[in-house]
Structure 1
Amino acid sequence: MQYQFKFNKILHIKEREKDQAFDVYSQAVKRFEEAAGKLYELLKKKEDLEAYQQSRLTMGLPVQEIRHHQHFVDSLEKTIDHYQKMVANARSQMNFQQEKLLEKNIEVKKYEKMKEKDLASFMESIKQTEGRQMDDISIQHFMNRGN
């Protein structure tokens, strides 16, 4: 008698769904890391530019160059704001995908636990059947020996 889990197909489907959810989550993490990396680069660039401008101010700068730097900093701040929104969106998407992955993981664990219990029950019933068969064989052997 061979063991066959009655929800085996469902378990395979749930495992596939979990794998797909993991792939989507991995992509969301990658997008978040890319956006966060770009934001970091922009913030670092702004910080360096402001430090450069501050050092140049101590030596004296023409007004035109100050305006040029200020215009560039304003443009950089707009870009930073855009990337901050992108990072926030990517983070929320990543957290959402993480929750979905967690749900799929829990579903798979439930089916695996059911399979484990079902297998244990199957093994116990086989053990009982074998015990009964051994008893029957012993009784027949005893009866045949008595004749």
Structure 2
Amino acid sequence: MAYKYKFEKILTIKEREKEEVSTTYNQSVKRFEEAAEKLYEVLKKKEDLEQFQLEKLTTGLSVREIRHHQRFVGNLEKTIEHNQKMVVNARNTMSFYQEKLVEKNLEVKKYIKIKEKDFTKFIELEKALEAKQMDDISLQVYMQPGKLGG
């Protein structure tokens, strides 16, 4: 008799759900990395600009150039603030899907564990049935000794 797991369809559905959440989680990780990279680039640009300003201040800067740099730094700070919010949102989304993925992994593991126990029980029943059949055959052979040519 072939083994048939009674929750196979549910296990298949749970595995599919896990794969979908895994894909979504991986996408959220990618979005987080992209947002973090943009933030890093803007922070680096601001740092470079401030370093450039310091160097220029030692050699002399006009008031117009100072104002221009201040406006540019102000715009960079707004961009930094925006990118920081994007990073926080991306991190929150990533954490949410990470929790979902952990939940789905646990669900799948539960059904796999149930399947393993069920299969073990199936094997034990098969062995018991086989042993009973062997006993029945032995008993029949014993009861009919003339059929073996004895």
TM range (shorter): over 0.9
TM-score for both structures, normalised by structure 1 = 0.98
Amino acid at match of 1:131: A
**2:8 aligned partner:** 8
**1:83 aligned partner:** 83
Q: CA deviation digits over 1:104-134, x for unaligned, max 9?
A: 0000000000000000000000000000000
Cα separation, 2, equivalents of 1:23 and 1:98: 11
Q: How does 1:40-119 map to 2 (within 5 A)?
A: 40-119=40-119
Cα separation, 2, equivalents of 1:60 and 1:48: 18
Q: Match of 1:135, SS?
A: helix
Cα separation, 2, equivalents of 1:125 and 1:73: 76
Identity %: 64
Any gaps of 5 or more consecutive residues in structure 2? none
Cα separation, 2, equivalents of 1:70 and 1:57: 13
Residue 146 of structure 1 and its aligned partner are, at CA, apart by 6.9
Q: How many residues align structurally?
A: 147
Q: Give 4+ residue runs of structure 1 displaced > 4 Å after superposition.
A: none
Cα separation, 1, equivalents of 2:4 and 2:138: 31
Cα separation, 1, equivalents of 2:145 and 2:74: 104
Q: How does 1:17-28 map to 2 (within 5 A)?
A: 17-28=17-28
Cα separation, 2, equivalents of 1:38 and 1:140: 82
Cα separation, 2, equivalents of 1:62 and 1:31: 42
